[in-house]
Structure 1
Amino acid sequence: MSTQAQKILGIAKAEKGYQEGRSAGHWNNDQKYSDETPGLAWSDKMAWCATFVAWCAFKAGLAALYPVTASCLTGVAWFKQRKQWSEYPAIGAQVFYGSGGGAHTGLVYDYDATYIYTVEGNTNSSGSAEGDGVYLKKRKRADAYVFGYGYPAFAEGITSADPAWKSKAPAPASTAPKIVALNAAVKPGATHAQVAELQQLLIKAGYGPIKGSVTKFYGAETQAAVGRFHDRNPSYRTTAHDPKIGPKGFVALQKQAGRR
């Protein structure tokens, strides 16, 4: 079973490559996230980086853990009012950029001593001022552009670089989800609860994105991700680009995703 942080980050990373509309030769901020987030339909065709985070939280069933807003400044205030703010990165944290945190925002999916690794909407790959879609970014933690981080109140706690939050870290890895058997009903075209788990494992192990996840339906996007798993692990497939995960392959996938 995935953590709340894994759930929202899996949904966010699956959106990598999504792009807004264009008109008159320019990107126009016309995107799906405003219309699909309750209370934010009015924000369509406006800057949508904060809306993207709110959409991810809504899709993950975690809307209460993130600010439902199209405003970065409102998001900063929301976390600070709850005393859930830090200058250190954390897994699943909402990072804010620019003066007062009002310029841009995204979600942190990893960090190390030097960099943060994020999923961000309304940005680009070139570094220009005109955002066009959802991208994975790598930024220096010490960059003056990084203002700070809002910490969601995950049920499992939060993995953070902040010494003051050590007591709120998740349980040790020994209590992580155990390897489970594959249900025989999980196959292409089927609808089954374990398909959602399969999608999450594929994304975490690096075989995503899976557009439209996380769902219980073993559709074309899931089949393609399983095909990518088999391409890199050919001993677990029965045919070229095999779209069906097998019992042994499912065990191997769980290990690659960190289960023991």
Structure 2
Amino acid sequence: MPTAKDILRIARSQLGTSERSDGWTKYGAAYEDRKHVRGFARAAWCDMFVGWCAVQAGALSIVGDFAYTPSHAQWFADRGRWGHKPRVGAIIFFDWSGSHSRPAIDHVGIVEAVRADGSVVTLEGNTDNAVRRRVRRSGIAGYGYPAYSTGSRPPSKPDKPKPGTAAPRWPGRYITQPPATSGNDVRTWQRQMRARGWHLAVDGVYGPASEKVARAFQKEKRLQQDGVIGPATWAAAWTAPLT
């Protein structure tokens, strides 16, 4: 099992790496390859940098793999690994508005050190368009605690996991297109896939973009690759391990 030192070593090796003039980064491009989607190579990349470091450190399953920071924070909370005490190797989440609300989170990094004065030294991607070391004292919404092999237990009173990690009952109809299936069950599935890190609109309509994500997900989880949300694919959206 990887340690906090492993991911910090990787993150430090990237200090000074910047995005291209057109916004392209290797972190976003690698995320596209892992998720079998497009549109991220030139997107905001702070969380994809964290995922890239996790891949290199062999820690993706315990760090998470996201491009959307609120979903990443919720992923930790759902596992009982969210709190407000800084520790080395923790994933630090920021809300610049100061609300300290997980849905409002808009930046992320990795804690490198905790100082006696209460400030936190971080390694962050997409800060001034590069990977940089920062000292943070404000804007901190909370921390995710990866299950490293040592020194990574969550705080004594973490937020409790929210219910619903088991799959809700399959709606009883196959979600497919064409013609495009629509409704609350489609929206429920889209919301769950987005929470898992897939780039997907939550509009309640199972169109071509949703089918593309479904096929990629089915391939990743070794399910029948038909682009149809039946009982097995529906359940896997909640129960299949993150990769």
Give the TM-score band, short-chain normalised: 0.5 to 0.7
Match of 2:110 in 1: 107
Amino acid paired to 1:120: E
Amino acid paired to 2:109: G
SS in structure 1 at match of 2:35: coil
Match of 1:39 among 31, 35, 40: 35
Mapping for residues 63-74 of structure 1, pairs under 5 Å: 63-74=60-71
By how many angstroms is 1:159 displaced?
7.5
By how many angstroms is 1:103 displaced?
1.0
* Counterpart-to-counterpart distance in 2, 1:76 and 1:40: 22
* Counterpart-to-counterpart distance in 2, 1:65 and 1:40: 21
Q: Deviations over 1:160-179 (max 9, x none)?
A: 8x5658xxxxxxxxxxxxxx
Q: Deviations over 1:38-84 (max 9, x none)?
A: 22763111110000000000111111011211010011110000000
Match of 1:139 in 2: 136
**Which runs of at least 4 in structure 1 moved beyond 3 Å after TM superposition?**
162-165
SS in structure 2 at match of 1:69: coil
SS in structure 2 at match of 1:109: strand
Q: Deviations over 1:182-205 (max 9, x none)?
A: xxxxxxxxxxxxxxxxxxxxxxxx
Higher relative CO (Cα under 8 Å, sequence separation at least 6) belongs to 2
User: Aligned in 2, Cα 1:40/1:54: closer, same or farther, shift over 3 Å?
Assistant: farther
The alignment status of 1:157 with 2:151, answered yes or no, reads: yes
User: Aligned in 2, Cα 1:81/1:3: closer, same or farther, shift over 3 Å?
Assistant: closer
By how many angstroms is 1:155 displaced?
1.5
Match of 2:59 among 58, 62, 69: 62
Any conservation in 2 of the 1:90–1:159 contact (CA below 8 Å)?
A: no
Mapping for residues 81-92 of structure 1, pairs under 5 Å: 81-92=78-89
Match of 1:120 in 2: 124
By how many angstroms is 1:9 displaced?
0.4
* Counterpart-to-counterpart distance in 1, 2:134 and 2:140: 13
Query: Is there any run of 5+ residues in structure 2 with no aligned partner, and where?
Result: 159-243
Amino acid paired to 1:39: K
By how many angstroms is 1:157 displaced?
3.2
Q: Deviations over 1:193-236 (max 9, x none)?
A: xxxxxxxxxxxxxxxxxxxxxxxxxxxxxxxxxxxxxxxxxxxx
* Counterpart-to-counterpart distance in 1, 2:64 and 2:27: 15
The alignment status of 1:50 with 2:47, answered yes or no, reads: yes
Amino acid paired to 1:149: Y
Q: Deviations over 1:104-141 (max 9, x none)?
A: 000001102321000000002xxxxxxx110000011x
Match of 2:6 in 1: 7
Any conservation in 2 of the 1:40–1:69 contact (CA below 8 Å)?
A: no
Any conservation in 1 of the 2:2–2:58 contact (CA below 8 Å)?
A: no
The alignment status of 1:77 with 2:74, answered yes or no, reads: yes
User: Aligned in 2, Cα 1:14/1:31: closer, same or farther, shift over 3 Å?
Assistant: same
* Counterpart-to-counterpart distance in 2, 1:59 and 1:149: 21
Aligned length: 148
Query: Is there any run of 5+ residues in structure 1 with no aligned partner, and where?
Result: 23-27, 125-131, 166-260
* Counterpart-to-counterpart distance in 2, 1:30 and 1:64: 25
State the percentage of identical aligned residues: 32
Any conservation in 1 of the 2:19–2:130 contact (CA below 8 Å)?
A: yes
User: Aligned in 2, Cα 1:122/1:81: closer, same or farther, shift over 3 Å?
Assistant: same
* Counterpart-to-counterpart distance in 2, 1:29 and 1:61: 27
By how many angstroms is 1:36 displaced?
2.3
TM-score normalised by structure 1 residue count: 0.53
Mapping for residues 172-251 of structure 1, pairs under 5 Å: none
